[in-house]
Structure 1
Amino acid sequence: MAERPSAAQEALSKVEDQLSCLVCLEPYTNPRLLSCFHVYCQHCLEDIVAHNRQGQLECPKCRRPTPLPPTGVSGLQAAFNVHHLFDIQETLKKVKEPQKLACEKCSVTNRKATSFCRQCTKFICEKCTDMHKEWDELKNHEIVSIQKVEGDLIRLVSPKKMSPRCPKHDENMKLYCEPCGELICIHCTVQIHKDHKYYVIADTFESHKKEILDSLGPVEKQLEATDTALVNLDERHAEVVEHGGKLATNIHSKFDEIHQALYAREGELMAELEGHTQQQLKSLSAQREEVEILQTQRSSCLHFVRESIRTGSPGDVLKMKQGVVKQVRELVDTFDPNTLEPRETTNTCFVPSAQLVKDCKEFGALCFVNIPQKAIAGQKINAHCRFLSAKNSAPPEAELVSKITNKAEKCVVKERGKGEYEISYQPTLGGASELIVRVGGEEVVGSLFPVAVKTPIDKLGTVIKTINDLKKTRGVALNQAGEIIVAEWNADIVSIFSPTGDELRTLDTRGTAVGEMKEPRGVAVDGDDNILVVDNGNHRLLKFSRGGDVIAAVGSHSDGLGQFNDPIGVCVNSVNGKVYVVDYGAYCVHIFNSDLTFSSKFGSKGSGNGQFNDPRDVASDRSGCVYVADFINHQVQVFTANGGYLRQFGKKGSGNEELNYPVSICVDSDDLVYVGEYGNDCVSVFTCEGVFLKSFGSFGSRPGQFNGPYGIAVDQCGVVYVSDHGNTRVQIFS
Structure 2
Amino acid sequence: MAAAASDVVDAGAVLAEINEDFLCCAICLERYSDPKILPCQHTFCKKCLVQLAEKGVADTLMCPTCNRSVKVPINDLQSNFFMSSLLDKIPEKLVAGTPKVCEFCEENEVTSICVECQQYSCTPCTRVHKKTKTTKSHQVLSVDEYQETKNKKPFAVQSIQYCNVHTGNQLKYYCDTCQTPICMECTIIDHRVPEHKHRYIKEVADEYSDELKGKVRKLKVKADEAETSKMSAKAACDKLKTCCKEEEAKINKKTDEILEDLRRQIEVVKQKKERLVDELKTEYTARVKNMEIKVDELEMKHGNIVSTCSYLETLVQHGNPGQILSAKQVYQQRIDGLIAMETKPQLIPDVIEFRPHPGRDDVRMLATNACQQNCSLDNVPKQLIKGDTATLMVTTRDKQGKQVIPRQVVEARVTKPDGSSDDIKVQDNNDGTHTMMVHGEIDGKYKVSVTIDNQPTPGTPAQIHVIKGLVKTIGKEGSGKGEYNKPVGVTIDRNGDIVTADRGNKRLQITDKDGNYKNITKIEKIIPVDVCIFNDKYYMVDYDNKQVVISDMNGHVIKEFSENMKHPQRIAVRPADGMVYVSDWNGLVYEKTNKHGHWIRKYTTNGDYIKSFGGYGSNPGQFKGPSFMAVDNQGLLFVGDYNNNRIQVFNTDDEYMYSFKCSGKGDGQIYAPRGIAIDNEGYVYVASSNNKLQ
**TM-score relative to the length of structure 1:** 0.35
Say which one has the larger Rg.
1
**TM-score relative to the length of structure 2:** 0.37
